């Protein structure tokens, strides 16, 4: 049976319910690092139109951070939000790294650092509260995050400044450790629960499911490899090793047998796990946003997922949509 609008609606229902009074999250969102000139220059008007299109088409989770473009991503999201009904948007930003004029970002997971970081984010975004705030890339600073950053965010959650407290990393093991040690509402795992590889399936996702911690999946194209697998394609922001490229090409070959774009399978795959409520995908233009959401709704037959298992490209225990 193909995954169609009914199953997509079921995913939406799951995310809209939320948990424990925390803000609901939509099944799809916009990763806003690219509009901060991550991969190349993006015209400011195009950046604004990209955010507007995402909201209009229902991908209303906007994921940004001070690190993205040294504050530029937040500034551009803020410019777009100035003409958007704030109630339609679930806004997520991050703390843990302080940015400054012309200086390299520095790790900063203390209480005062968190407050200073959020003050800067408020100014750039033009808001006074956040739906989600993640502790950002704290794998080398777990003790500080547990002792200082998370408690500071929990206090802000109690005060209504923050809707949900989370953590985001591209490593599943330290993120799972943070879930064990801290009172988190949500996590963002980037690149470690994708159609290409699923290390989070062994540690992070079962833990989140047991504790009621919602999971947002990012980096679903593994830095671009699953968007266009070819020699030299990026994987973890470096040229993909030959073995990894071969696996991506094999995934594309199976998808093609069922007339399914690889990018459609990559976007829809994470939502097969019950702990995953949202997928965020970056874009640099309204056309990319529209294309991504069209792929997110592309019908995928159950036979294709079964064929991926038979080919050894997915473990038999891996849940699929």
Structural element, H or E, at residue 163: strand 162-169
What does the alpha-carbon distance between residue 52 and residue 297 come to, in Å, rounded to a whole number? 20
> Three-class SS of residue 135?
strand
Bridge partners for 162 per DSSP:
130
Residue 68 known to be catalytic: yes
Question: Rg of the Cα trace of the chain?
Answer: 19
| Whether the Cβ atoms of residue 142 and residue 174 lie closer than 8 Å to each other | yes
Give first-to-last CA distance, the chain, whole Å: 11
Look at strands 97-100 and 103-107 and give their pairing: antiparallel
Residue 114 in contact with residue 80, Cβ under 8 Å? no
Residue of 68, 193, 221, 235 marked active site = 68
Name the residues annotated as catalytic: 68
């Amino acid at each position: 049976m193909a995954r169609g609008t009914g199953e997509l609606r079921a995913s939406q229902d799951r995310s809209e319910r939320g948990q424990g009074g925390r803000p609901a999250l939509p099944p799809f969102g916009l990763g806003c690092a690219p509009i901060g000139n991550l991969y190349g220059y993006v015209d400011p008007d195009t950046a604004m139109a990209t955010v507007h299109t995402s909201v209009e088409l229902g991908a209303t989770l906007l994921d940004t951070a001070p690190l993205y473009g040294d504050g530029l991503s937040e500034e551009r999201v803020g410019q777009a939000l100035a003409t958007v009904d704030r109630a339609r948007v679930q806004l997520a930003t991050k703390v843990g790294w302080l940015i400054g004029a012309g200086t390299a970002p520095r790790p900063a997971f203390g209480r005062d650092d968190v407050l200073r970081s959020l003050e800067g984010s408020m100014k750039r975004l033009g808001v006074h509260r956040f739906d989600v705030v993640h502790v950002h890339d704290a794998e080398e600073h777990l003790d500080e995050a547990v002792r200082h950053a998370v408690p500071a965010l929990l206090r802000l959650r109690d005060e209504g400044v923050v809707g949900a407290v989370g953590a985001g990393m591209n490593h599943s093991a330290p993120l799972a450790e943070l879930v064990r040690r801290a009172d988190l509402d949500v996590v963002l795992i980037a690149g470690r629960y994708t159609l290409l590889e699923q290390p989070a399936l062994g540690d992070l996702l079962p833990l989140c499911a047991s504790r009621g911690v919602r999971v947002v999946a990012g980096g679903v194209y593994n830095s671009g490899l699953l968007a266009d697998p070819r020699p030299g394609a990026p994987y973890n922001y470096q040229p993909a090793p030959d073995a990894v490229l071969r696996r991506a090409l094999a995934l594309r070959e199976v998808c093609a047998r069922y007339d399914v774009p690889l990018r459609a399978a990559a976007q829809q795959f994470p939502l097969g796990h019950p702990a995953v409520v949202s997928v965020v995908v970056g874009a640099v233009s309204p056309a990319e946003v529209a294309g991504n959401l069209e792929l997110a709704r592309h019908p995928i037959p159950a036979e294709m997922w079964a064929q991926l298992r038979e080919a050894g490209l997915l473990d038999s225990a891996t849940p699929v949509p």
